[in-house]
Amino acid sequence: MIDDEELEQRTYRLLNDAAHVYRAVPPAAAVLRSTLDRLAGPLRIAVAGPPGSGKSTLVNALIGEELAPVELSAEVAYRDGTEPRAWWRDAEIPVVRTGSGLRLTPDARHTGGPGGRAVVEWPSRVLRRTELIDARGPAADADAILYVTPQLGEEELRTVRAARGRLAPPVHVMIVLSRADATGGGWADALLTAKQMARRRRREPRTGMVSQDLLAVSPLIAAAARTLAGEEFAVIAALAALPKAESEPHLLSTDRFTAATALAPVDAQRRVRLLQRFGLGGVRLALTLARTGSDTPAALAERLQEHSGLKELQASIATLFTARRPVLRARAALTTLDRLLRTHRNPAAGNLLAQLELLVAEAHELRELRLLSALRSGRVTVPRDHAVDAARLLGGSGTSVGERLGMSPDATAAETWAAARAAGERWRGLAHGRTLTPAARRAAETVLASSDLIADRLDRLAAPIS
């Protein structure tokens, strides 16, 4: 059993060994050099999905800027930078901000041939440790994937299953249902209904087989909330001030809302712009919130983000992806290496493949992620009075020793040691007892292993004087 630090170190050594073996095979050597470089970089999250699913809008919502879609037929990676800059095929190119995103303008020297990835650097706190990729197709080289789709049927499940990879269950995939604001006709309770449906779908075994989590989000409302302008708030406030009996008939359809003679305090042009930004469901929601206490731009933006599902998505990304950067980067690197070893046969490949499979089998953090997903979805249960404790010890509230043990930041070393010993005794009793089902006992054994790793980490420090 190994922790994330050892997983990273052994992954790096294995990639270096493979680079030595394949040094005379240019295509394989290039892949390995690129993989080693990415292993030290930020977590790469691909936002993938079918055209028109809302993935570019979701990128904007996550960054908090209107950057996507870029006017260039290519995949676009967004990274943190000191100033706005862009590259295409390793050449810096001009970047212009428009009313609907960015325009990148590579000249004729850089546009030959299909494919490729544009890179945009943009000053952003969100992008400091995470690179977001607005994917145009399969996101094979990403560390984690947000699969954005309006619906989740058999075709979508097959697509996500194809991105799962061979090495392990899909600890790197999260599904986002992106038409939450249109559920049930798009009225005020649409988002709540969509979230309830997502929670039910999350518990389905076939969903758990292809993803870590499933969430309902409105990228359109989320992006509008993150970039809400003062003028837009003024329009919403003016419409919200009208008597409901006067305004609601005009919220039944887009044609009624944008009619030239409708809603006299706000001209049709501004209403059209509001509709483009929020959608009809988002306009209805914004007016409801403005009438019920969200009387400042900041307050309205905050509540719109909550209702849109963005806050829940951000929390899930933080718990399942960002907090697990080392293990997800290592997993992506090992997946690439596994594919290379099976494609480029070499006398030494068999030994490297055996080392790789042993490393994956020993990586406890991958087991933690799989169990966290199963507990969140309800596919696996532990006794109810131990469920919160299990999720916390597995790293569901943070991966530091203190966070796993639920300790106050000012807890003493003696208190931390006592909590660690108590956790080990608690879960050893459950794992070795006879009261649990086989599935629950296996879950308890994984939690116990996490408790033992916490004790191992504490053992590396000087024991407190009792």
Q: Where does a domain end: 295, 328, 350?
A: 295
pLDDT of residue 277: 93
269 inside domain: yes
CB 185 within 8 A of CB 284: no
Give pLDDT, residue 45: 95
Q: 353-405: per-residue pLDDT in tens?
A: 999 989 888 888 888 888 887 887 677 899 999 999 999 999 888 888 999 99
Cβ contact 190:182 at 8 Å: yes
Looking at per-residue pLDDT, the higher value among 89 and 455 belongs to 455
CB 136 within 8 A of CB 124: no
Residue 437 lies in a domain: yes
pLDDT, one tens digit per residue, over 110-168 is 554 555 778 999 999 999 889 999 988 766 678 999 999 998 888 888 888 876 666 55
pLDDT band with cut points at 50, 70 and 90 for residue 25: very high
DSSP-derived pairing of the beta strands 117-121 and 85-88: antiparallel
As to burial, measured by CB atoms within 10 angstroms (0-12 exposed, 13-18 middle, 19+ buried), residue 186 is: buried
Lowest mean pLDDT among 92-106, 207-221, 222-236: 92-106
DSSP β-ladder status, 173-177 and 144-149:
parallel
Average of per-residue pLDDT across 270-278: 94
Residue 278 tokens, joined: 């929020």
Alpha-carbon distance of 27 to 34, in angstroms, equals 11
Note whether residue 47 is domain-resident.
no
Distance CA 183, CA 167 (A): 36
Whether residue 99 lies inside any domain: the answer is: no
- Report yes or no on 177 lying in a domain: no
How many domains are there within the chain?
2
Beta strands 91-93 and 85-88 are antiparallel
DSSP strand pairing (95-98 vs 101-104): antiparallel
The answer to whether residue 446 is domain-embedded is yes
User: In which domain, by residue range, is 247 found?
Assistant: 229-295
What confidence score (pLDDT) does residue 108 get? 47
Q: End of a domain among 295, 325, 350?
A: 295
- Nearest 10 degrees: CA dihedral of 231, 233, 238, 243? 160
Q: What is the mean pLDDT of the chain?
A: 87
**Edge-to-edge strand ranges of the sheet holding 213-216:** 91-93, 85-88, 117-121, 75-79, 130-134, 43-48, 144-149, 173-177, 213-216
d(C-alpha 249, C-alpha 263), whole Å: 10
Q: What is the 3-state secondary structure (H, E, C) of 4-72?
A: HHHHHHHHHHHHHHHHHHCCCCHHHHHHHHHHHHHHCCCEEEEEECCCCCCHHHHHHHHHCCCCCCCCC
Structure tokens at 247: 């305004």
Residue that has been written with the tokens 């006794």 in this structure: 383
Looking from the CA of 325 toward its CB, the CA atoms found within 13 Å total 14
Is 262 a domain residue?
Answer: yes
Residues above pLDDT 70, as percent of the chain: 91
Collapsing DSSP states into helix, strand and coil, what is residue 165? coil
> Within a domain: residue 272?
yes
Cis before 265 (ω within 30): no
User: What tokens appear for 194 in the block?
Assistant: 């969509």
Please report the pLDDT score of residue 375 as a whole number: 84
Q: At which of 272, 295, 318 does a domain end?
A: 295
